[in-house]
Structure 1
Amino acid sequence: MTATTEAILVLEDGRVFRGESYGAVGETIGEIVFSTGMTGYQETLTDPSYKGQIVAMTAPHIGNTGVNDEDFESRRIWVDGYVVRDPARVRSSWRSSQTLDAELEAQGVVGISGIDTRALTRHLRERGSMRGGISSASTDVAALLARVTEAPQMKGASFLADVTTEQTYVVPAVGEKRFTVAAIDLGIKGMTPRRMAERGIEVHVMPATATYDEIAAIGPDGVFMSNGPGDPATADHAVATLKQVLAARTPYFGICLGNQVFGRALDRGTYKLVYGHRGINQPVQDLTTGKVEITAHNHGFAVDAPLTGTFETPYGPGRVTHVCLNDDVVEGLALLDQPAFSVQYHPEAAAGPHDAAYLFDRFVDLMSAEKAGV
């Protein structure tokens, strides 16, 4: 790492951290959150769900494998800022094309290094995620704090227009084509359609603005809604479209924001978590099997639904299928009389464990059963 410019991190409650610039020199403001993943930083950086957020890594040593050309989950880095404690001095992977610092600089991502990320994480755990700012262009704390407190909050924010694809593209099935799926891109990661393609699914990745008529025109065997950034309370178009999908009894699978949209379509509310779930080590129990899986998360909002029993929806009874064992947050939903389910986490495992890969098979089973008229 060559950057030695002084940098400051200022939180909206006035807490200040001082370190050195990492990545581009400049200023950035966003909601500051922490991610507990010890690996997979390149996939984290390129996850569109992080749009609008400054990400602090709890693992102290970041950048040791550099950046390669194969592990990008989207077309660019999406985080609005990056916070690390000890950046790697050298990159040590044969797959690496350049250093993480250089990639951040090339993409204009302002970061800070050399701060006590443990103290920062404890502060956010106690006070909750909040707005923050990083500056390596100026060390004027008061001026940066004023800009931070004037910035919009994550509650009420919508970034779908920023992250979604502009036009539909197709990821072909691997081997024999078995199904066609319309995947609504709310901030989709590249590994997700690949996981479906591996199961014989031809995936039509469509913009977040896609209408039900446009979806129906491809004759899908199922509809998928992806992860994505922002407040689910602003995703009215996606909710309205999904209601039409459910009314047509088309099999549905959603993850992350797609889970929250599903919850809203079932007339459940959503709410903002104090500091959210981010990282690749979150324990979740599948209440339908009793199995506990370690999962990859990135969400600051959750669905409000009862953990036990069923609840009424416009499409028959629904239930919570998955729950986070750390804090009892709803992590999955399903309808009992229709082929529709969702989870709050990221089963594509990029980065992360593969415990939840079975969910793609569950989606295949739903589509198979619907085709067979079961």
Structure 2
Amino acid sequence: MELLAPAPLLGKPPLDVSEFLDTSLFHDSFLILENGQTFSGISPNWLKGSLVGEVVFTTGMTGYEASLTDPSYAGQILVFTFPLIGNYGVPSKSYFESEKIFAKGVVVSNICQNWSHNTGVQSFLEWLNEQNIPLIMEVDTRALTKVIREKGTLKGVISEREFIQKEFELKTETFFGKEVSIKEPMIYGQKGKTIIAVDCGMKTNILRNLQKHPLIIKRVPYNYDYSQEDFDGVFLSNGPGNPEDYKETIVILKKAMRKKKPIFGICLGVQILSLATDAKTYKLPYGHRGHNQPCMDLSTKKCYMTSQNHGYAIKEDSLSSDWIVSFKNLNDNTVEGIKHLHYPFSGVQFHPEAAPGPTDTEWLFEQFTASL
């Protein structure tokens, strides 16, 4: 396969980071993709050694603190396509989607140190340093994004060395369920219908949206068997990795589906729901990550702007005849939602809870709770 020219020949970012940062606190570093292409940049002096991950990009202009704390990014090196990151600093944890950064590494064009916002508590760089997250900046992220769009999602290494030895294995395919899920069941709310919320890496804003409704929410680990318990509905959360790896989750869900109680899944959750019906999933070339993905509700022909973060999708022709596609992505026509014809089972690939992104489809939470 012919490689594209290395990043330095593709042009530098329009802004020189030296105008804003003390360059003595940084050293030269490199992002080496598995196809051999190398992008040069600089990294903070606290970054030592090498870091391996799956390189993916997000097109969001804001919400970097929510994106990085989204458990769905576990094991991935996240490239921000927007050229300036950190302009409003980092807010308190109340704006996070989990307790820590789950992205394995960060790639940016430029970082703003002179941040300004009334909710900010520290700079973007201070936050990454505090959580020991590898960073490479002054990278031509526009050129890098083009490579990923043309070649597909690639594994990569952030390193101080320009050349990685052949024996340096690019191993990134890992099951992250144990890492991102809670360890023991947790209860939220004291009155209303009871739902089981299966945590495969649940974003905090999903929980916030569920708590807006009169519900008793029993949040359980991804491998917790709730199938014999008394509940009114099941919610399946987002999460990282290949949905086929969540074998225990799928087996438990199959048993729970026999009760014919309402089930609603988001992102990984809808993929797990489809696998529980013996449908198939597949890996997208470069995934859908950003806040401006257009999706159509096929029942109303109404279009919504959605927030998305996933690398897999449901294979439409593998769905059985008692399932229909409820939403489609208008960019590539992939499945964005499914619904059972007879039972209250449904799910969507996008994030109706957003954070970051548009909240146009929050009504799906109301639809789920009304079905209980």
Instruction: From the superposition, tell whether residues 22 and 37 of structure 1 become closer, same or farther in structure 2 (CA, over 3 Å).
Output: farther
Q: 1:128 aligns with which of 152, 159, 181?
A: 152
Paired residues of 1:23 and 1:110 also in contact (CA < 8 A): no
Q: Tell me the distance in 2 between the aligned counterparts of 1:142 and 1:264.
A: 38
Superposition pairs for residues 236-275 of structure 1, below 5 Å? 236-275=247-286
Query: Share of identical aligned residues, percent?
Result: 39
Q: Tell me the distance in 1 between the aligned counterparts of 2:46 and 2:345.
A: 44
Paired residues of 1:277 and 1:297 also in contact (CA < 8 A): yes
Unpaired runs of at least 5, structure 1: 368-374
Q: Which residue of 1 aligns with 2:215?
A: 201
**Cα displacement (A) at 1:24:** 4.7
Q: How many residues align?
A: 348
Q: Tell me the distance in 2 between the aligned counterparts of 1:198 and 1:48.
A: 22
Instruction: From the superposition, tell whether residues 264 and 18 of structure 1 become closer, same or farther in structure 2 (CA, over 3 Å).
Output: same
**Cα displacement (A) at 1:189:** 0.6
Q: 1:232 aligns with which of 229, 243, 268?
A: 243
Paired residues of 1:58 and 1:117 also in contact (CA < 8 A): yes
Instruction: From the superposition, tell whether residues 23 and 202 of structure 1 become closer, same or farther in structure 2 (CA, over 3 Å).
Output: farther
Question: 42-51 or 195-204, which moves further after superposition?
Answer: 195-204
CA RMSD of aligned residues (A): 1.6
> Helix, strand or coil: the match of 1:101?
helix
Alignment partner of 1:289 is 2:300? yes
TM-score relative to the length of structure 2: 0.90
Q: 2:76 aligns with which of 53, 58, 63?
A: 53
Q: Tell me the distance in 2 between the aligned counterparts of 1:103 and 1:266.
A: 42
Q: Which residue of 2 aligns with 1:370?
A: none
Q: Tell me the distance in 1 between the aligned counterparts of 2:80 and 2:144.
A: 10
Question: 83-92 or 164-173, which moves further after superposition?
Answer: 164-173
**Cα displacement (A) at 1:212:** 2.9
Aligned AA for 1:75?
Answer: E
Paired residues of 1:284 and 1:292 also in contact (CA < 8 A): yes
Q: Which residue of 2 aligns with 1:277?
A: 288
Q: 1:365 aligns with which of 339, 348, 370?
A: 370
Aligned AA for 1:296?
Answer: S
Paired residues of 2:226 and 2:256 also in contact (CA < 8 A): yes
Unpaired runs of at least 5, structure 2: 1-20
Q: Which residue of 1 aligns with 2:123?
A: 99
Instruction: From the superposition, tell whether residues 23 and 284 of structure 1 become closer, same or farther in structure 2 (CA, over 3 Å).
Output: farther
Superposition pairs for residues 1-374 of structure 1, below 5 Å? 1-2=21-22, 3-22=25-44, 24-26=46-48, 27-69=50-92, 70-135=94-159, 138-143=160-165, 146-147=167-168, 150-154=169-173, 157-172=174-189, 177-213=191-227, 216-217=228-229, 219-306=230-317, 311-312=320-321, 317-367=322-372
Q: Which residue of 2 aligns with 1:371?
A: none
Residues 1-50 of structure 1, C-alpha deviations (whole Å, 9 max, x = no match): 55422111000001111111159503211000000111110000000000
TM-score relative to the length of structure 1: 0.90
**Cα displacement (A) at 1:365:** 1.9
**Cα displacement (A) at 1:185:** 0.4
**Cα displacement (A) at 1:269:** 0.6
Paired residues of 1:23 and 1:102 also in contact (CA < 8 A): no
